[in-house]
Structures are given as C-alpha cells and as structure tokens.
Amino acid sequence: MDYYELLRIDATATFDEIHKAYRSLALQYHPDRNSTPEAASIMSSINQAYSVLSEPSRRQLYDQQRRTTQPFDIAGSILRAAYDTLLKQGWIVTENDEAHMILEHGIKAVRVSFVKHLDNALLKKIGKQFAGFSVVLAVEIELPVNFSFNVAIIDLVRSRYHGPPFPDETYRALFAPFIGP
C-alpha cells in the first residue's frame, strides 16, 4: 500500500498536511470511535504510514524506494506536459511548488493545481486555498464532482472544461490548449 494514498495526500505534502491528514483519518478509524471490524486494521496501517512520512529520514528513504518500484506514471507525464505548456503562455509565475502555481498577467491572477486524481474532498480543499479564480488540471476525476465549488476543472484526458465560466477571454486563451473544440 502506498502511504501517500493511504493518508489521502500527495507526495509533496508538508509535515503539517501529513499531520492533519493523519488526525482526520485517526478520528474516523480509531477503534474507540469506529466499531467496524476492519477499523483496527485500517488504524494500524494509518499509524504505520504516519510514522514513516512524519519522520524526515524515514520519509526520504521511503520516497527513494517508492520511486524505484513504481511503474511508469502516465499521469505524471501528462501533468508535466500541462505544466510546461502553461509556462510557455507568457504569464508571470509568482508562486510555484510544482503541485500548484499562481500565474499573473497584468492585474489578472489564477491559481492552477496539478492533480492526478480529483475527488470532492480534494476539490473542496483546493477551493479554500485561493480567493481568486482557480483551475484544477486533473488526469482522473472521481465522479460525481460537486461543481458548486468556485473552482474550474479541466479533464486533461478528455479535454473537457467543467465549472464556472472563465472570467474573460484572457483566461480562456491561457487554458485553450487543454480544451477540445
């Protein structure tokens, strides 16, 4: 089992994000709070994942082993291509941590998130991280998705746009390479 998937975080998660994910799952699966037969087993796995990912040297070793044992990651290649395409659009990158970036063009700004697997929980989290216009570029989208969040979604595999309309043509042009006719 992949520890990042188990804790429902991505591999770029900070210590605070790891800790928050652990606490949330612990509240859900701790045997004192969850009487289902599998709760103890799930909690044990969550504890193991947290003990590795919360300790920097253990996490570094885990990440090295994970990279050498993972099969070819097509989602990562798709997201990298999307990332590179955005960088060529002439907008200024004001923040960038590989998983998210903020692009500015004059007074316009957009936060772009690069996601392998998007579900409602992650969409809600992304929606709370930036007050302005946000776009998620996703490889896989778990349906149904709650499009009421103020975040646009582009399905990179199907070249489809979902969510609120673009604020104007400048934004539409930025994301045009990802949207089919």
CATH of 74-178, one of 2.40.30, 3.30.310, 3.40.1350, 2.40.420: 3.40.1350
- Number of Cβ atoms within 10 Å of the Cβ of 145: 19
- b/e sequence 28-44, b meaning 16+ C-beta within 10 Å: ebeeeeeeeeebeebbe
- Who wins on pLDDT, 61 or 148? 61
- Say if strands 133-141 and 152-155 run parallel, antiparallel, or are unpaired: parallel
Distances, alpha carbon 2 to alpha carbons 36, 42, 72, in Å: 23, 13, 15
Domain boundaries, the chain: 3-69, 74-178
- Who wins on pLDDT, 74 or 5? 5
What is the rounded average pLDDT for all residues in the chain?
Answer: 89
Structural fold of domain 3-69:
Helix Hairpins (1.10.287)
What letter does residue 2 receive in the DSSP assignment? -
87 torsion bin: left (phi>0), alpha (psi -120 to 50), beta (else)? alpha
- Asked if omega into 37 is within 30° of 0 (cis), the reply is no
Alpha helices per DSSP H over the chain: 3-6, 15-29, 39-53, 56-69, 74-87, 120-127, 169-175
Report how far apart the first and last C-alpha atoms of the chain are (Å, whole number). Answer: 39
Domains 3-69 and 74-178 share a fold: no
Which range, of 18-27, 34-43, 134-143, averages the lowest pLDDT?
Answer: 34-43
* pLDDT, position 70: 62
Using one digit for the tens of pLDDT, what is the confidence trace for 156-175? 999 999 988 999 999 999 99
Using one digit for the tens of pLDDT, what is the confidence trace for 136-163? 999 999 888 777 667 999 999 999 999 8
Q: Tell me: pLDDT of 60 over 80.
A: yes
C-beta of residue 135 within 8 angstroms of C-beta of residue 114:
no
Average pLDDT over residues 74-84: 87
- Number of Cβ atoms within 10 Å of the Cβ of 80: 13
Using one digit for the tens of pLDDT, what is the confidence trace for 83-116? 999 999 999 999 988 789 999 999 999 999 999 9
Q: The whole model's pTM is what?
A: 0.60
Record the tokens describing residue 163, joined without a space: 């969510």
Compute the distance between CA of residue 81 and CA of residue 66 in angstroms, rounded to an integer.
Answer: 22
